[in-house]
């Protein structure tokens, strides 16, 4: 691991019935910690974080820990993997067998340029997500402090002061729609046995009803769900298949933490963070991003002609076409955005994260950690549409 630096972390704290036992000295909830799912980091980090979290919870003395060895034995008998517990339903089934009242499940990995530790506490009787957090650091070395901070939150113990916690900072941006907080555009990432799959989501919430679209490299899907306070449960349907999903919305309405389960038995972690979109339309001769009619991707180009609500786009690869203005966007690439790059020395496109933008090129970081300057003209991205596909 690299040498640690001061961590900047984002705490997404949900309403916490779990806190009640911290006030009842003679009553301790029996809780178990599953190995954390991992994405884009070493697999060993999932168990390392869970071990550290368990040790810290034990030292605080506010909960009674279930035996991790017993839990692993039960899951082995059930032909399950401890690190495979990624959704509340799995946690409920496993927790009942293990005799624990609550289970901590979560994931650890890279989200854009940051190291993220996600965790949720699930009641094994009801399957309800009692609480959820997402802590973010600048590098893997920050995970130690992040896991310790997480233990304080789970235990209901007052957090240390900023000087004691290495001057951590809490960020809580305002929500764009207080009545329907899930409404908006989201950058998403989901994970399976093959690794990370970036995407984009548009959600429209109307009270308890939620509809929307998501697009990933495998194609677009339609979403429908119900919202209950900060919990969203629903289904997705696409040409590639269908399934169900659940999200927990952070109180600052900037992060979705959840999981999915496909009808074919696939399952994994699914999360998203809000991405504010520029609403102004490009002007004549300006650089733009446009939804190419031949596939689901958005490509860079230039607006060369405008006729009413129609834009003639000259793409950087030489193609051109007329598009309605709702499929043409300003060139608003920014640090942290996920793009796919046609590298000069490789076939196809490779996804990367933008670190810095400079005129017609971007400094990007690839999955393997390599960083280099790439021309924007060789990039494409997934940009979900409000109107579907």
Same domain, 300 and 216: no
The answer as to whether 22 is a domain residue is yes
Structural contact between residues 19 and 134, judged by C-beta atoms closer than 8 angstroms = no
Same domain, 31 and 68: yes
Q: Is the pLDDT of residue 10 over 70?
A: no
Q: Compute the distance between CA of residue 354 and CA of residue 387 in angstroms, rounded to an integer.
A: 27
Same domain, 269 and 355: no
The answer as to whether 118 is a domain residue is yes
Same domain, 262 and 327: no
* pLDDT tens readout for residues 121-143: 888 888 888 888 888 888 888 88
Same domain, 221 and 292: no
Same domain, 139 and 38: yes
With residue 46 as reference, give the H or E element that holds it. helix 44-60
Question: When comparing pLDDT for 149 and 200, which is higher?
Answer: 200
Quickly state the pLDDT bin for 324 (edges 50, 70, 90): very high
Q: What percent of the chain has pLDDT over 70?
A: 85
The answer as to whether 3 is a domain residue is no
CA–centroid distance for 326 within its chain: 27
* pLDDT tens readout for residues 257-283: 888 999 988 888 898 989 888 878 899
Q: Residues 158, 161, 166, 170: what is their CA dihedral angle, to the nearest 10 degrees?
A: 70
Which residues on neighbouring strands pair with residue 297, listed in sequence order?
Answer: none
Structural contact between residues 65 and 71, judged by C-beta atoms closer than 8 angstroms = no
74: closest CA among 38, 119, 32, 121?
Answer: 32
pLDDT at 205: 97
**CA-CA-CA-CA torsion sign (154, 156, 159, 165):** negative
Q: What is the CATH number of the domain that holds 372?
A: 2.30.30
Question: When comparing pLDDT for 311 and 89, which is higher?
Answer: 311
Same domain, 260 and 294: no
| Number of separate domains in the chain | 3
pLDDT at 80: 56
Q: Is the pLDDT of residue 174 over 70?
A: no
pLDDT at 25: 46
Q: Compute the distance between CA of residue 142 and CA of residue 168 in angstroms, rounded to an integer.
A: 11
pLDDT at 86: 72
Specify the DSSP class assigned to residue 381.
B
Quickly state the pLDDT bin for 81 (edges 50, 70, 90): low
Q: Is the pLDDT of residue 164 over 60?
A: no
Quickly state the pLDDT bin for 37 (edges 50, 70, 90): confident
Structure tokens of 44?
A: 């060993």
Q: Compute the distance between CA of residue 356 and CA of residue 374 in angstroms, rounded to an integer.
A: 11
Same domain, 77 and 49: yes
* pLDDT tens readout for residues 278-305: 878 899 999 999 999 999 999 999 999 9
- The strand pair at 37-39 and 64-65 is best described as unpaired
Q: What is the CATH number of the domain that holds 81?
A: 3.40.50.10610
DSSP string, 302-370: EEEEEETTEEEEEETTS-EEEEEGGGEEE----TT-EEEE--TTSSS-EEEEEEEEETTEEEEEETTS-
- The strand pair at 338-341 and 37-39 is best described as unpaired
The answer as to whether 9 is a domain residue is no
The answer as to whether 188 is a domain residue is yes
Which residue range(s) make up the domain with 268?
A: 184-274
Structural contact between residues 234 and 148, judged by C-beta atoms closer than 8 angstroms = no
Structural contact between residues 98 and 32, judged by C-beta atoms closer than 8 angstroms = yes
Mean pLDDT of 310-339: 94
Q: Is the pLDDT of residue 119 over 70?
A: yes
The answer as to whether 2 is a domain residue is no
Q: Is the pLDDT of residue 362 over 70?
A: yes
Which of 155, 173, 202 is the last residue before a domain boundary?
155
pLDDT at 1: 31
Q: What is the CATH number of the domain that holds 232?
A: 2.40.128.120
* pLDDT tens readout for residues 44-68: 888 888 888 988 888 788 888 887 7
Quickly state the pLDDT bin for 169 (edges 50, 70, 90): very low
Mean confidence (pLDDT) of the chain: 82
Same domain, 262 and 343: no
Same domain, 75 and 111: yes
258: closest CA among 182, 184, 310?
Answer: 182
Q: What percent of the chain has pLDDT over 90?
A: 37
The answer as to whether 173 is a domain residue is no
The answer as to whether 32 is a domain residue is yes
User: Residue 98: which residues within 8 A CB-CB, separation 6 or more?
Assistant: 32, 66, 70, 71, 74
DSSP string, 155-209: HTPPPPPTTTTTS-----PPPS-SSSTT-EEEEEEEEETTEEEEEEEEEEEETTE
Structure tokens of 100?
A: 């624990």
Structural contact between residues 184 and 258, judged by C-beta atoms closer than 8 angstroms = no
Same domain, 375 and 343: yes
Same domain, 54 and 151: yes
Provide, for the chain, the percentages of residues in helix, strand and coil under a 3-state DSSP scheme, each rounded to the nearest 5.
20, 45, 40
Which of 250, 274, 298 is the last residue before a domain boundary?
274
Burial of 59 (0-12, 13-18, 19+ CB in 10 A): exposed
């Amino acid at each position: 691991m690299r040498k640690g630096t001061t961590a900047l972390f984002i705490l997404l704290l949900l309403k916490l019935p779990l806190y009640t036992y911290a006030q009842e000295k003679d009553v301790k909830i029996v809780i178990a910690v599953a190995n954390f799912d991992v994405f884009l980091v070493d697999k060993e980090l999932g168990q390392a974080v869970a071990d550290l979290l368990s040790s810290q919870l034990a030292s605080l003395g506010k909960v009674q820990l279930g035996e991790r060895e017993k839990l692993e034995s039960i899951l082995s008998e059930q032909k399950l993997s401890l690190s495979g517990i990624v959704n509340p339903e799995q946690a409920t089934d496993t927790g009942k067998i293990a005799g624990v009242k609550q289970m901590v499940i979560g994931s650890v990995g890279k989200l854009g340029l940051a190291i993220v530790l996600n965790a949720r506490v699930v009641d094994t009787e009801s399957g309800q997500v009692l609480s959820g957090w997402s802590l973010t650091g600048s590098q893997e070395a920050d995970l130690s402090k992040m896991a310790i901070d997480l233990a304080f939150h789970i235990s209901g113990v007052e957090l240390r002061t900023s000087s004691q916690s290495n001057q951590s900072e809490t960020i809580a941006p305002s929500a764009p729609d207080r009545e329907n907080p899930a409404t908006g555009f989201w950058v998403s990432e989901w994970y399976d046995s093959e690794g990370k799959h970036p995407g984009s989501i548009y959600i429209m919430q109307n009270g308890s009803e939620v509809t929307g679209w998501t697009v990933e490299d495998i194609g677009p899907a339609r979403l429908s769900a119900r919202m209950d306070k900060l919990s969203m449960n629903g289904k997705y349907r696409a040409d590639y298949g269908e399934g169900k999903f659940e999200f927990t919305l952070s109180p600052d309405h900037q992060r979705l933490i959840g999981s999915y389960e496909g009808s074919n038995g696939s399952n994994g972690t699914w999360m998203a963070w809000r991405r504010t979109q520029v609403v102004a339309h490009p002007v004549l001769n300006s650089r733009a991003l446009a939804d190419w009619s031949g596939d689901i991707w958005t490509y860079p180009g230039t607006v060369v002609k405008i006729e009413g609500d129609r834009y003639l786009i000259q793409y950087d690869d030489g193609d051109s076409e007329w598009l309605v203005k709702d499929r043409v966007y300003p060139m608003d690439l920014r640090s942290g955005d996920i793009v796919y790059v046609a590298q000069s020395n490789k076939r196809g496109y490779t996804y990367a994260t933008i670190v810095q933008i400079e005129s017609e090129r971007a400094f990007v970081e690839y999955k393997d950690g390599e960083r280099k300057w790439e021309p924007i003209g060789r990039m494409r991205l997934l940009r979900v549409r409000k109107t579907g596909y």
